Every structure is written in structure tokens, then in C-alpha cells.
């Protein structure tokens, strides 16, 4: 559990830096490119530690630490929320009107994905792991909205048709590969 908490502190602690004047100070001292490179590497290290820590909570005594029992219908809601998360992620990756309408599709995708997983996983490791992502996604939406940040891009109307299809395809691929990627069978094919 300690490894998971350390990973959460590193990964999300780093992601709080851009919200402070420290970011501008570091960028001025290091330069934009080196700052972004160092930030990316440090974030990947934190994410790796967090994933490793989460994997450790899946077995042994940590797996028995139950915070709540998921509802029977939770699995179905999870499937829907994660599908919507992948569609929102695809909207983020495309430049259609839906991206402008959603304003923060990546943060929405993170929040939906995390909420979905919290609905069907009540062990302490899952609550910490997915709960941290949920808080981050919601905080990002609030902060970006307060700052008035909205991505500027030229709208490509056909992307409004491509994005949902791409999201559904990504969802289907991850759903199929979930047992091999994450060790948890979601549906039996």
C-alpha cells in the first residue's frame, strides 16, 4: 500500500506544479523544452510507481481490505461509464464541435473512467488508485474552467463523426485485452 501512496503523491503532486507560480519559475530557469521533458519523465516515473503499487494491492492481505461492497448492478454502470470515457478521450484527440462543446474532454474522460472503476471495485487499493484519478479529473475541470482555458483549434466537422466511432473501437479493444493487460476479466468472449 505504501508504494501506491508514494506513487499517488509523486504523480499527482507533480501535476499540481502547473497550478502554481513554481511552474513559471522552473520554466524560466530550465527552458520550456527541458521543463516539459523533465516533467514528463518524472510523471511517468510517478505513474509507474503508482501502477506498481496498485498491482501489489491486488494480492495478499491488502486485497482483503474492503472499503465497501460494490452493488450488483455496478458492473453494468461501469461498462457504460468507461465507454463514455473512451468516447470523451476520442473527442479530446479530435478537433470537432463536440470538443469545443465539452471544453475539457480529457478531464471528463479521466473522471468517468475513475468513477466507473470505483462503482465496481470497493477494495482499499482501488479506492485510493481510482479515487485519486477521480479527484484529479474533477479538480482539473474546475481549475481549467476557472482559468477560462479552452483549447483553440480549427473545427473539423467530420471529426464529430469519427470521434465516437474511434472511442467505441478503443473501448472494444481495451475490453477484449483487459484480462491480459490488467489481469481482470470484464466480459467473457
Residue 47 and residue 119 in one domain: no
Is 186 inside any structural domain?
Answer: yes
Residues 157-162, mean pLDDT to the nearest whole number: 91
Query: pLDDT tens across 128-147, in order?
Result: 999 999 999 999 999 888 88
Are 51 and 84 part of one and the same domain? no
Q: Are residues 117 and 170 in the same domain?
A: yes
**92 to 87, 102, 137, 157: CA distances (angstroms):** 9, 9, 14, 14
In this structure, are 35 and 88 located in the same domain? no
Residues 41 and 112 in one domain: no
Q: Specify whether the CB–CB gap between 152 and 111 falls below 8 A.
A: no
20: which residues sit within 8 A by CB, 6+ positions away?
A: none
- Considering the domain boundaries, does residue 52 fall inside one? yes
Single residue among 11, 30, 56 that ends a domain in this structure: 56
Specify the higher pLDDT residue, 75 or 150. 75
Per the structure, how many domains does the chain have? Answer: 2
Q: Calculate the average pLDDT of the chain.
A: 92
Calculate mean pLDDT across residues 42-48: 96
Residues in contact with 148: Cβ distance below 8 Å, sequence separation at least 6, in sequence order: none
State whether 82 and 25 are in the same domain: no
Is the CB of residue 61 less than 8 Å from the CB of residue 137? no
Same domain, residue pair 23 and 96: no
**Is the same domain home to 83 and 143?**
yes
In a domain, 49, yes or no: yes
Q: Does residue 61 sit within a domain?
A: no
Q: Are residues 97 and 164 in the same domain?
A: yes
Asked, for residue 107, whether it belongs to a domain, the answer is yes
pLDDT value of residue 59: 85
% of the chain at pLDDT higher than 70: 99
- The pLDDT of residue 174: 97
What domain range includes position 107? Answer: 66-189
**172-184 tens-digit pLDDT:** 999 999 999 998 8
Same domain, residue pair 50 and 71: no
Residue 125 lies in a domain: yes
Give the pTM.
0.89
**Claim to verify: residue 16 and residue 104 sit in the same structural domain:** no
Inside any domain, residue 17:
yes
Same domain, 71 and 161: yes
Amino acid at each position: 500500500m505504501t508504494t501506491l501512496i508514494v506513487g499517488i503523491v509523486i504523480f499527482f503532486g507533480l501535476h499540481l506544479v502547473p497550478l502554481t507560480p513554481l511552474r513559471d519559475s522552473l520554466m524560466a530557469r530550465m527552458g520550456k523544452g527541458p521543463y516539459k521533458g523533465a516533467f514528463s519523465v518524472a510523471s511517468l516515473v510517478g505513474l509507474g510507481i503508482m501502477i506498481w503499487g496498485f498491482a501489489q494491492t491486488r494480492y495478499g492481505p491488502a486485497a482483503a481490505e474492503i472499503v465497501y461492497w460494490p452493488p450488483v448492478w455496478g458492473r453494468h454502470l461501469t461498462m457504460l461509464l468507461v465507454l463514455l470515457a473512451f468516447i470523451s478521450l476520442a473527442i479530446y484527440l479530435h478537433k470537432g464541435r463536440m470538443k469545443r462543446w465539452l471544453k475539457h474532454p480529457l478531464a471528463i474522460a479521466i473522471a468517468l473512467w475513475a468513477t466507473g472503476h470505483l462503482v465496481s471495485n470497493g477494495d482499499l487499493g482501488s479506492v485510493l488508485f481510482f479515487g485519486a484519478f477521480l479527484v484529479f479529473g474533477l479538480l482539473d475541470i474546475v481549475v481549467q474552467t476557472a482559468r477560462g482555458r479552452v483549447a483553440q483549434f480549427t473545427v473539423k466537422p467530420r471529426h464529430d463523426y469519427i470521434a465516437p466511432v474511434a472511442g467505441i473501437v478503443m473501448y472494444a479493444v481495451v475490453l477484449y485485452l483487459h484480462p491480459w493487460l490488467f489481469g481482470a476479466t470484464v466480459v467473457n468472449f
